[in-house]
């Protein structure tokens, strides 16, 4: 996507988001980018506005601009397909992949959600929940809100919900709420983290999917120690695959940080 087209799309999307906010009320950035501002400044305004946008239907004009913009940015970043990722030495059904999960064309990617299940509402926050909702588009928050309204209560820890992926290259997003360990996991936290993995695997199998990419559940702001979480993840996934010998499910452990990559590389080559 050329720079001029990106600028037209982000300008249109920001203008529509500001128009909505002035009709409905709500948060606006203290300073909005001017018409001739650089793309990065307009993109930050776009992202902050969608991060704080209520779960409401959007206009067709906004969706057209948003969808073309997000799909173009993801393609520009480079999409990775599961077939391009090498199997792990330990188990050919497992793989390690370091990169941005929003560019991974797996059948399902796992989102480390919060109990509200409608994404991260903090503008420009660096969590995976924020990234997935941003690049999927505002349609994802609306679908999640509808699921929560039908459910009538917050999402419990260690369950899984499946939604569409919208502008992401994945087919589905599987949302799970991990335990809040605060750096000191208890046996209950360990059990809940393991059940997050089995719930997501059960959901993927139930949808007839062929691949699933896990993020490092609960190791961010929820404070589960990274090394212990990785051991639980690998052990639980291998046990689930062993209990389902007929499944053809391919499992990718997606990491972003070098620290996590080193941990999983060691575990998957043992």
pLDDT tens profile 59-117: 999 999 999 999 999 999 999 999 999 999 989 999 999 999 999 999 999 999 999 99
Orientation of helix 187-206 relative to helix 226-243, angle to 10°: 40
Q: What is the pLDDT of residues 232-268, one digit of tens each?
A: 999 999 999 999 999 999 999 999 999 999 999 999 9
Q: What is the rounded CA–CA span in Å between residue 46 and residue 28?
A: 11
Residue 264, Cβ neighbours under 10 Å: how many?
A: 25
| DSSP letters for 26-87 | ----SSPPPTTS-HHHHHHHHHHHHHT--S----HHHHHHHHHHHHHHHHHH--EEGGGSPP
pLDDT in tens, 10-35: 999 999 999 999 999 888 988 899 98
How far apart CA 24 and CA 268 sit, in angstroms, is 50
Taking residues 217-239, report their average pLDDT: 97
Share above pLDDT 90 across residues of the chain, in percent, rounded to a whole number: 95
Separation in Å, CA 78 to CA 27, 103, 146, 166: 33, 7, 32, 17
Percent pLDDT > 70 in the chain is 100
Instruction: Write down the pLDDT at residue 74.
Output: 98
Q: Look at residue 12 in the predicted model and tell me its pLDDT.
A: 97
Query: Could you tell me where in the chain the CATH 3.40.220.10 domains are found?
Result: 80-268
* Cα separation, 202 vs 199, whole angstroms: 5
Give pLDDT, residue 26.
87
Residue 172's H or E segment, with its range, is: strand 172-177
C-alpha–C-alpha distance, residues 154 and 245, integer Å: 34
pLDDT number for residue 35: 85
* 156 close to 91: Cβ distance less than 8 angstroms: no
Q: Which two tokens stand for residue 195?
A: 């059940």
CATH code linked to domain 80-268: 3.40.220.10
Backbone angles phi, psi at 253, to 5 degrees: -95, 110
Per-residue burial over 67-100, b = 16 or more CB atoms within 10 Å of its CB, e = otherwise: bbbbbbbbeeeeebebeebeebeeeeebbbbebe
pLDDT(229) > 90 = yes
pTM: 0.96
């Amino acid at each position: 996507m050329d720079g001029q087209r990106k600028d037209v799309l982000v300008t249109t999307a920001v203008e529509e988001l500001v128009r909505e906010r002035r009709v409905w009320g709500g948060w606006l950035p203290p300073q909005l980018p001017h018409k001739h501002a650089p793309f990065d400044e307009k993109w930050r305004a776009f992202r902050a506005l969608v991060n704080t946008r209520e779960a409401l239907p959007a206009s067709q004009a906004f969706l057209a601009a948003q969808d073309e913009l997000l799909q173009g940015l993801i393609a520009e970043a480079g999409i990775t397909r599961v077939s391009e990722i090498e199997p792990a030495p330990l188990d050919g059904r497992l793989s390690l992949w370091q990169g941005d999960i929003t560019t991974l064309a797996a059948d399902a990617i796992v989102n480390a959600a919060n109990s509200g299940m409608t994404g991260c509402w903090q503008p420009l926050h660096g969590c995976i929940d924020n990234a997935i909702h941003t690049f999927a588009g505002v349609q994802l928050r609306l679908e999640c809100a509808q699921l929560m309204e039908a459910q009538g209560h917050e999402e419990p820890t260690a369950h899984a919900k499946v939604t569409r992926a919208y502008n992401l290259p994945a087919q589905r997003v599987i949302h799970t709420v991990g335990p809040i360990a605060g750096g000191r996991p208890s046996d209950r936290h360990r059990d809940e983290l393991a059940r997050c993995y089995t719930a997501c695997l059960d959901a993927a199998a139930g949808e007839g999917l062929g691949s699933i990419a896990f993020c490092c559940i609960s190791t961010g702001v929820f404070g589960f120690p990274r090394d212990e979480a990785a051991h639980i993840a690998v052990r639980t996934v291998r046990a689930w695959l062993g209990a389902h010998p007929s499944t053809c499910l391919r499992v990718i452990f997606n990491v972003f940080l070098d620290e996590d990559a080193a941990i999983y590389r060691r575990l998957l080559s043992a």
